Structure formats: structure tokens, C-alpha cells
Copies of this chain bind each other. A is one copy, B any other.
């Protein structure tokens, strides 16, 4: 029994009524948004509740939804409507919602129409092979099994860059997909700053006395860990009427609308902190999308404005809040009440130092707050050189080992714990990695500003009062969705562009105290 509903009214959008092409285009775009949301529901289900035997057909279903979304977005009908809407006799006022929507849709449609579907299709097939050979290569600790498939994906990325166009560096065109407006040169400058500061700092910390943290890795009942995570989510203010938490192999957040932003977590029985920090991380992502202004629903604008800004929100809640002393001042007594025996004799100070232990290691996803950017730096340098043609795929394992030793002082014993560790390249996703560290930098810059604006933020956190911070984030960042770019946000909030200073200062202060440097 199927039937069709009336399109949502969006009464808060300020749009002239004199532009019928605009409204017809808006309906088409709403369908694109619905298809993307539906694909996201199917992917969420695949990672949480789908029966094991259903993977193959689910892949077809998701592919069909994404393909139809792409067809609608790149259709001649949509292009004509866009053209009519822009050149209407009643043109949109600059900076009006109307104008913003047309600008964003034009950007999305232009980008989507540039890539020939033949190339997209060939790349998709190549990804299919690469995912499989990447798995095989990892299993056999043998990069050569992945090499030719990866080379093909690098070739596709180079072609895409040429087709999409760039002004300075071919990597710019790829970066722009994930961090619109950011350039390779900007990233290089920022990351060079980080490298100079971090390498000596990490060396200092490595030789300093380490906080004891073995007590974190006892056996902790999974159900109790789950309850603790739910307790923490309620404390920080996750809106369960518009979201939920489930378990999955890899934690993620998924948005189907601002009214339905879900997160998943993973609980490790012998790790007290992995689950809770993944929960806080995903909460940061989810809060961003839950707090977007409802007027942007079903317009493609109700999304994070860039991956870097998105990551800034997860890192703000995971690190600046979650790994802070004030946060655990409030939560540690509760934690102890969940695990009285395992944590008997452990003080708040012991716990705080343990969860902030810094150890150079081989695996990015297990890295601490301080060494993480060095893992990203390495990948960014390799990617940029690969795309520019200064480096070839066959040379990756060797240069990986060299850089790991030089940046982190550790060398992988095999390629599975080295160049083969990340899934991103097997998916053809070049330009994604830098956004992790851009997020770290944005987070520190935003957090510094929030502290200045909210005054006694530490005391609010100690008291478990997160409403002022959530509201600050909503008004300063979240509500805008994609209607403000990352650089607009950072400039309007902090009065300057993206810079490394606040994060360096935060790290030096925090870890100077913990490590008594």
C-alpha cells in the first residue's frame, strides 16, 4: 500500500516566490537528498542489523540509489532548471538563502557533470578489484598483490584531477572534494609547522617517565561499558529522540535527516577507554548534524560543510572535552561505581594521566592525540607526490618505512602494519587523510574561542553542564550546514584563518603538565 506525501513546507527559507524554475529544481534536489539518505539507511543497516547472507544484494541496492541520485543531479532537466533559476527575471539577492542554495547546487552539479560516467564506472570497477587485492595483500603481508590495482586507482585520481582542474597543484582538485576551498600549499604550510613542533616534543615525551596505564586494560564487562557510554551520551546531551546508538565493527555516525542522526560504537572487553572515546567522538559528529537549521532539510545543505570541520567537532568532544581533567572530575566517580574492584585505589589524577599517555606507534587509528598528526603528515606527503607524479606506487613501502622512522621513531615489521594499514587508498579516496588533522587544528581554534566566549567553560564541564557549549557550537558552526564554508566559519569565529598555534599551545600546556616537561 503505497502513497505519496505532500512536499515539506520550509517556511523559514527566505526565497522569492517569483522563480518557478527554482522551486522545480528544489523538488528535484529534495529527491536527490532522499536517495542519498535512503542509501545511508541501507549502509547503516548493513553495519548493524543486516543478516550476514545479504551483503551481495545490499551492495546492488546501495549502488542503484547512488547512481539514481547522480543521474538526477546531472540530468539535463536539472541543468536547465538551474540555468533558468540563475538567470531569472527575479534574480536572487546576494547572500539570501535563495542565492546560497543556487550557489551550492551549481557547485555540486558542475562537479558531478564534469566527470564522464564512463570514467566513474571504470573507477568503480577498479575499486571493486582493489578492495579485494588490498585484503589479500594484508592477509599475506605482501604489498605486491595490491600494487597494480593501486597504480590503476592513482591513474584514475590523476585523470580526475586533470578533468576537474586546479590552479596550483594537481592534488588541489582532489582535496577540494573533501575540504572545499583548501589548497595543497595551505596544508603543506600548516603541516610543516606541526612537524617542526611535534617531532622534538614527541622525542622529549618518549624519554620522560610514562604514566601507568595497565589498569585500563583489565577485563571490563561489556554490558557495563555500554551502560557507561549511554550515561555519558545523556550527560553531554545527545538527543535520543532524534538519534540512537548501536554496536558495529567500526564506529561511525550516519545522518538520514537532522531528525535522525545515529552513531555506533565498538566495545572492547579488555579496554576501558576505547568504547567511551569512540562514543564521544561520534557524538561530536552527530551533534553537528542534529543542530543544523531545519530550514536546510532536503536541500543538500543540511550536511557538514567539510570533512575537516566535521572532524573538528568529533575531536572537540573526544579530546578537548573527553580527555580533559574537568570532564572526568564529574564522570570518574560514576566510572568507579561501575567498576569498583578494577578501579579501586586509582585516583582521578592517575586516570587522567593514563588516558593521556603518549606512545609513538605504527597504527594510525590507535595513535594518541599528540602523535596522530604525524601519521597524517606522512600520508599527505605520499599522496601529494603520487598525484603530482613525483612518486610511484612501487616505491611506497620503502618510503613509508623511512618516514615512519624519521617522524615517529618506529619501523613497521611488515607491510600490513605499514603501508597496507588504511582502507582509504583501496577505495580510491585520495585527499581524505589531511582532513583528520585539519579537524584537529579547527577544533583547537574553535575551543579556544568557545572558552573565551563562555568564560568558565572548565567549571561548566566539571558540573556536567554542556548546554552552553552545545548552544555556542550550534549558533557559531552547526546551524549553517554547508551554507558557510570552512574558511568563512573559522574567519568569522576566530578573526583569522586556520592556524596551528592554538593546538600547539593546547598540546604543550596539557602534556607539559602531564609529563612534567
Say which residue of B5, B52, B56, B428 sits within 8 Å of A60 (CB atoms): B5
Q: Which of A238-275 contact B (CB under 8 A)?
A: 239-244, 246, 256-257, 259-260, 262
Give A346 Cβ to nearest chain B Cβ, in Å.
35
Q: Which of A1-48 contact B (CB under 8 A)?
A: 1-8, 30-31, 34-35, 37-39, 41-42, 45
Q: B residues within 8 A CB of A6?
A: 125, 128
Q: B residues within 8 A CB of A259?
A: 51, 53-54, 56-57
With most chain B CB atoms within 10 A of its CB, the pick from A6, A64, A123, A243 is A64
User: Contacts A6-B125, A57-B260 hold; do A51 and B240 have CB atoms under 8 A apart?
Assistant: yes
Q: B residues within 8 A CB of A41?
A: 38, 41-42, 45, 61
21 contacts between A and B (CB under 8 A): A1-B428, A2-B39, A3-B66, A3-B128, A5-B63, A5-B124, A5-B128, A7-B60, A35-B65, A35-B68, A38-B61, A45-B45, A50-B260, A51-B240, A51-B242, A54-B260, A57-B256, A57-B257, A57-B259, A58-B256, A60-B298
With most chain B CB atoms within 10 A of its CB, the pick from A53, A297, A298 is A53
Interface presence of A429 (CB below 8 A): yes
A4 engages B56 (CB within 8 Å): no
A66 engages B256 (CB within 8 Å): no
Q: Mark A119-150, 1 if CB is under 8 A from B, else 0.
A: 01101110110000000000000000000000
A57 engages B297 (CB within 8 Å): yes
A27, closest chain B residue (CB): B64
A297, closest chain B residue (CB): B57
Give A75 Cβ to nearest chain B Cβ, in Å.
12
Q: Which of A282-314 contact B (CB under 8 A)?
A: 297-298
A54 engages B5 (CB within 8 Å): no
A3 engages B427 (CB within 8 Å): yes
Counting every copy of the chain, the complex holds 2
Interface presence of A501 (CB below 8 A): no
Interface presence of A87 (CB below 8 A): no
Q: B residues within 8 A CB of A30?
A: 60, 64
A49 engages B51 (CB within 8 Å): no
Bound: A58/B241 CA distance, A: 14
A57, closest chain B residue (CB): B257
Q: Mark A51-84, 1 if CB is under 8 A from B, else 0.
A: 1111011111101111110000000000000000
Give the size category of A's interface with B: 35 or more
Q: Mark A324-368, 1 if CB is under 8 A from B, else 0.
A: 000000000000000000000000000000000000000000000
Q: Mark A223-243, 1 if CB is under 8 A from B, else 0.
A: 000000000000000011111
Give A423 Cβ to nearest chain B Cβ, in Å.
9
Q: B residues within 8 A CB of A65?
A: 34-35, 38
Give A53 Cβ to nearest chain B Cβ, in Å.
4
Give A389 Cβ to nearest chain B Cβ, in Å.
24
A258, closest chain B residue (CB): B57
A424, closest chain B residue (CB): B1
Give A250 Cβ to nearest chain B Cβ, in Å.
13
Q: B residues within 8 A CB of A49?
A: 49, 244, 246
Q: B residues within 8 A CB of A34?
A: 60-61, 64-65
A432, closest chain B residue (CB): B1
Bound: A124/B246 CA distance, A: 35
Q: B residues within 8 A CB of A262?
A: 51
Q: Which of A405-446 contact B (CB under 8 A)?
A: 427-429
A257 engages B3 (CB within 8 Å): no
Give A145 Cβ to nearest chain B Cβ, in Å.
21
B256 engages A54 (CB within 8 Å): yes
A123, closest chain B residue (CB): B3
Q: B residues within 8 A CB of A298?
A: 57, 60
Give A465 Cβ to nearest chain B Cβ, in Å.
24
Bound: A6/B56 CA distance, A: 11
B260 engages A8 (CB within 8 Å): no
Give A118 Cβ to nearest chain B Cβ, in Å.
12
User: Contacts A54-B259, A240-B51 hold; do A4 and B38 have CB atoms under 8 A apart?
Assistant: no
Q: B residues within 8 A CB of A58?
A: 256-257, 260
Give A295 Cβ to nearest chain B Cβ, in Å.
13
Give A370 Cβ to nearest chain B Cβ, in Å.
28
Give A156 Cβ to nearest chain B Cβ, in Å.
11
Say which residue of B5, B66, B124, B242 sits within 8 Å of A59 (CB atoms): B5
Give A356 Cβ to nearest chain B Cβ, in Å.
32
Bound: A428/B244 CA distance, A: 34
Q: Which of A460-508 contact B (CB under 8 A)?
A: none
Q: B residues within 8 A CB of A4?
A: 63, 66-67, 120-121, 124
Give A55 Cβ to nearest chain B Cβ, in Å.
8
Known: A51-B262, A56-B259. 11 other contacts (CB 8 A): A3-B127, A3-B428, A5-B60, A6-B125, A31-B68, A34-B65, A37-B57, A38-B38, A54-B242, A57-B260, A68-B68
